[in-house]
Amino acid sequence: MGMNTNTAAPSSRSAIWTGRVLSGLAAAFLTFDAVIKVARAPEALKTLGELGYPPNVLVPLGIVELVCLAIYLFPRTAVLGAVLWTGYLGGAIATHVRVGNPLLSHTLFPVYVAVFVWGGLFLRDTRVKKLVSDGA
């Protein structure tokens, strides 16, 4: 029987920087993904078609990504941003399952991104650590 102190241990300097790096890598990938959608890059249009979506949803998807990213990158709303990304990435997983894409390289790729999003946030934000420790 452990005692729940309802407080999260403060993050070490190295944990905070590791969290920033993980969050930065996720943000870099998600920024790239959003920008190619908003710019209507040919590769993005091609991929969207392969996934069974019409071309007119490309830019709105990119805008949704940019909004989620802004919310995630602003420290005060980062947890909400991570929740929004979780929903968005869940939709990506469902899409890859629906079209029968390979499991490790395509279907689970959004899970890998989500691990960076949440892992980075966990390491750099004591609110998330507290949420996880209080739930344990």
- Say what percent of the chain tops pLDDT 70: 92
Question: Is 0.95 topped by the overall pTM?
Answer: no
Would 63 be classed as within a structural domain? yes
Q: Phi then psi for 5, rounded to 5 degrees? A: -90, -5
> pLDDT tens digits, residue range 5-30?
445 666 799 999 999 999 999 999 99
Segments forming the whole domain that contains residue 97: 13-130
Would 135 be classed as within a structural domain? no
Would 101 be classed as within a structural domain? yes
Please state the domain count of the chain: 1
Would 22 be classed as within a structural domain? yes
> pLDDT tens digits, residue range 23-71?
999 999 999 999 999 999 999 999 999 999 999 999 999 999 999 999 9
30-56 residues labelled b (16+ CB within 10 A) or e (exposed)? beebbebbbeeeeebeeebeeeeeeee
- Say what percent of the chain tops pLDDT 90: 85
